[in-house]
Amino acid sequence: MCGIVGYLGSSKACPILINGLLKLEYRGYDSAGISTIENNKIMCIKNKGRVKELQNIEEINSLNGSIGIAHTRWATHGKPSSINAHPHLDNSKTFSVVHNGIIENHRELRTFLNNAGYTFLSETDTEVIPNLIHYYYSKEASNEANRFVKSVKKAVQDLKGSYAIAVISSLEPDKIIVARKDSPLVIGVKNNDKYIASDIPAILEYTNNIYILDDGDIAELSSNQITFYDKNFNVVNKNIEVITWDAKSACKNGYEDYMLKEIYEQPTAIRETIGTILDDCKKCNFGNINITKDYLASLSRIYIIACGTAMHAGLAVKPIFERLTSIPVEVDVASEFRYRNPLIDEHTLIICISQSGETADTIAALKNSKLCGCKTIAISNVIGSSISREADFTLYTHAGPEIAVASTKAYTSQITILALLAIYFAEVLERHEDTIIQNLKEEILELPSKVSIILENTDLIKEFAKKIYKEKDLFFIGRSVDYATTMEASLKLKEISYIHSDAYQSGELKHGPIALIEDDVTVIGIITDKRLVDKSISNIQEVITRGAKTLIITNQEINNEIFPNIVHIPKVNPLLSPILSIIPLQLLAYYVSKEKGLDIDKPRNLAKSVTVE
């Protein structure tokens, strides 16, 4: 949940590191720091607060080294403070380390190191790492070849938990050693310059040529080469992956906030995601997933597993999978699924959704499922992400880098690709008439332009945001597929505006929550399924009778005179409506937060990818 950047090359490292940190702040932003090497000495500057505050420290400008590591933190062990900020140094100040992840056995390692004479300044789990490296380095003979990398290898062998680390040493001032387990890390190269990052957007401005480290890998970077070691410490070759995202896609591009930019990128994100699957003859190309008719017919259940917004994408596509494949679908939160011994076997297909592909619970749920004999499909937005390496098959959304903490374009792209997957399964199973499938494909192709129409008509949403931004509580209601949208809309509002909200199935109101409705409470209803209009309207009337003010998102004919605030969205098959109905509600969350003057892209206590439990 923190961000790592590193640089080794011919330029001054500090500006490159700061630039990278600014791009990674979405991963954590309660403290930040940099270490460089100058005249064989480690220079380390770190601070509580955002990267901008680090930039304002005068001494930062005097860091002249051309090798360095940097970190932006989201606190797990130890409160945000400059002492707990990374980089951390060993007692002799000869090794400096930045770390993402959690060292679960840090207490035992502290005791071990205390007994060996080491002391600790911070409350972090990370501080054991530079001291362990120092411990092993001092045990190696001084003429030992590869002494630095060997010491790092020995240190990481002692670590339990997850880590991505980058280490520099004043004793070998021309090298950076990196290692990873269950936390992402990539190395970018351009000529002789080398860049390290926990996330690709941090270094996209410099290079698209990336090496992706596998779990257990260690790499030694020096000015003229990179040596990769696998988990058994054998030297291995790696191929460069060329990343197609461009640097502009990781900038705000004139928008005030990344979230707004990403909301407006949805037509493109959806179009590109469709484009990778549907060919000119409108045939679904899922050639890379080896799923046969016999296999699908043997399934007793599909489980969709994910966290947060990605889990809501699962809820949104459950109806289309069930309708088209007649296979029961269960959607579960990864952190629950992984610990509750679910009844799964080779007749269960597991689909895990993760924008980042690095969410610890989702990866663990996927690994557990494989042990039970299930086939697994990952849906991810990040090429080479950890989940894609674990799953039997991976399907990529093509949303481009999502920087804002609140997920928007990844969500609608996930629903899009999953809807196409449901169609593909139906085709393989031959369970549906061609016309139904063809109509759905036509409708999917029209989605990008329908999203654009919604994005061009935002006045009512902006006005409504002004009316409600001071509220403390509000409610979202919807039936069937619209309920998934209420869940996502409620999460979006909570996380960036800090207003409490709840999502209910409209029919559930009478079973308790309606007791909370009184004068001026806001209720937002979503109505996109023709079959359920009358019932949904009665539910809205029930809350209006009790004094609620309402907003309705709909593509049905509803009387404007009785219901004052109606946002009309384009008509679409209800199985696809979550892709459209969420758009005004993403915007509502955005504009409410804007009215409140909050930091929309970096909401408090949150980080973009949750790589720890």
Active site residues: 2, 608
Select 238 or 370, whichever has its Cβ closest to ligand F6R.
370
CB of 68 to ligand F6R, least distance (A): 28
**For residues 213, 215, 216 and 219, what is the CA-based torsion angle, rounded to 10 degrees?**
10
Residue nearest ligand F6R by beta-carbon distance: 308
Segment 218-247, which members bind ligand F6R (CB under 6 A)? none
What residues form DSSP beta bridges with 475?
502, 523
Question: What is the rounded CA–CA span in Å between residue 19 and residue 25?
Answer: 10
369 Cβ neighbours under 8 A, 6+ residues apart: 303, 305, 344, 348, 350, 376
Question: What is the rounded CA–CA span in Å between residue 262 and residue 249?
Answer: 10
Stretch of residues binding ligand F6R (CB under 6 A), selected from 194-202, 301-309, 388-396, 556-564: 301-309
Given a contact cutoff of 8 angstroms between Cβ atoms, the answer to whether 23 and 50 are in contact is: no
CB of 355 to ligand F6R, least distance (A): 3
456 φ/ψ sector (left φ>0, alpha ψ -120 to 50, else beta): alpha
Select 172 or 495, whichever has its Cβ closest to ligand F6R.
495
Q: Which residue shows structure tokens 């901008």? A: 52
What residues form DSSP beta bridges with 227?
220
Segment 356-415, which members bind ligand F6R (CB under 6 A)? 356, 359, 362, 406-407
Q: Is 591 helix (H, G, I), strand (E, B) or coil?
A: helix
Select 4 or 440, whichever has its Cβ closest to ligand F6R.
4
Stretch of residues binding ligand F6R (CB under 6 A), selected from 98-106, 121-129, 194-202, 306-314: 306-314
Among 234, 233, 226, which residue's Cα sits nearest to residue 210? Answer: 226
Given a contact cutoff of 8 angstroms between Cβ atoms, the answer to whether 303 and 348 are in contact is: yes
Question: What is the rounded CA–CA span in Å between residue 93 and residue 291?
Answer: 55
Stretch of residues binding ligand F6R (CB under 6 A), selected from 20-28, 137-145, 276-284, 352-360: 352-360
| Binding letters toward ligand F6R, positions 592-611, x by CB under 6 A | -----------------xx-
CB of 610 to ligand F6R, least distance (A): 5
Q: Is 92 helix (H, G, I), strand (E, B) or coil?
A: coil
Question: What is the rounded CA–CA span in Å between residue 352 and residue 271?
Answer: 22
Select 481 or 491, whichever has its Cβ closest to ligand F6R.
491
CB of 587 to ligand F6R, least distance (A): 14
CB of 396 to ligand F6R, least distance (A): 13
Select 167 or 487, whichever has its Cβ closest to ligand F6R.
487
Stretch of residues binding ligand F6R (CB under 6 A), selected from 69-77, 78-86, 302-310, 521-529: 302-310
Task: Give me the count of residues in the chain.
Answer: 613
Stretch of residues binding ligand F6R (CB under 6 A), selected from 26-34, 122-130, 349-357, 566-574: 349-357
Q: Which residue shows structure tokens 């209803």? A: 525
Select 16 or 404, whichever has its Cβ closest to ligand F6R.
404
CB of 483 to ligand F6R, least distance (A): 17
Select 435 or 605, whichever has its Cβ closest to ligand F6R.
605
Segment 448-507, which members bind ligand F6R (CB under 6 A)? 491, 495
Lateral strand order in the sheet of 95-100:
88-89, 95-100, 163-169, 176-181, 218-221, 226-229, 235-236
Segment 8-67, which members bind ligand F6R (CB under 6 A)? none
Select 546 or 596, whichever has its Cβ closest to ligand F6R.
596
Question: What is the rounded CA–CA span in Å between residue 406 and residue 602?
Answer: 8
Given a contact cutoff of 8 angstroms between Cβ atoms, the answer to whether 418 and 546 are in contact is: no
Tell me how many residues contact ligand F6R (CB under 6 A): 15
Residue from 308, 314, 319, 574 in contact with ligand F6R (CB under 6 A): 308
Select 207 or 273, whichever has its Cβ closest to ligand F6R.
273
CB of 603 to ligand F6R, least distance (A): 9
CB of 283 to ligand F6R, least distance (A): 29
CB of 379 to ligand F6R, least distance (A): 9
Residue from 66, 354, 394, 501 in contact with ligand F6R (CB under 6 A): 354
27-41: b or e for each residue (b if 16 or more CB lie within 10 Å)?
bbbbbbbbbbbbeee
A 10 A CB-CB count for 115 gives 8
Residue from 31, 47, 266, 309 in contact with ligand F6R (CB under 6 A): 309
Query: 590: which 2 tokens?
Result: 């955005």
Stretch of residues binding ligand F6R (CB under 6 A), selected from 268-276, 355-363, 391-399, 432-440: 355-363
Given a contact cutoff of 8 angstroms between Cβ atoms, the answer to whether 53 and 36 are in contact is: no
What residues form DSSP beta bridges with 186?
197, 212
327 contributes a contact to ligand F6R by CB under 6 A: no
Stretch of residues binding ligand F6R (CB under 6 A), selected from 350-358, 445-453, 478-486, 559-567: 350-358
Query: Rounded to whole angstroms, what are the CA distances from 104 to 109, 184, 464, 474, 490?
Result: 10, 18, 47, 39, 34
Residue from 310, 317, 327, 329 in contact with ligand F6R (CB under 6 A): 310
339 Cβ neighbours under 8 A, 6+ residues apart: none
How many Cα neighbours within 13 Å face the side chain of 297? 8
CB of 354 to ligand F6R, least distance (A): 3
Contacts with ligand F6R, residue ranges (CB under 6 A)? 307-310, 354-356, 359, 362, 406-407, 491, 495, 609-610
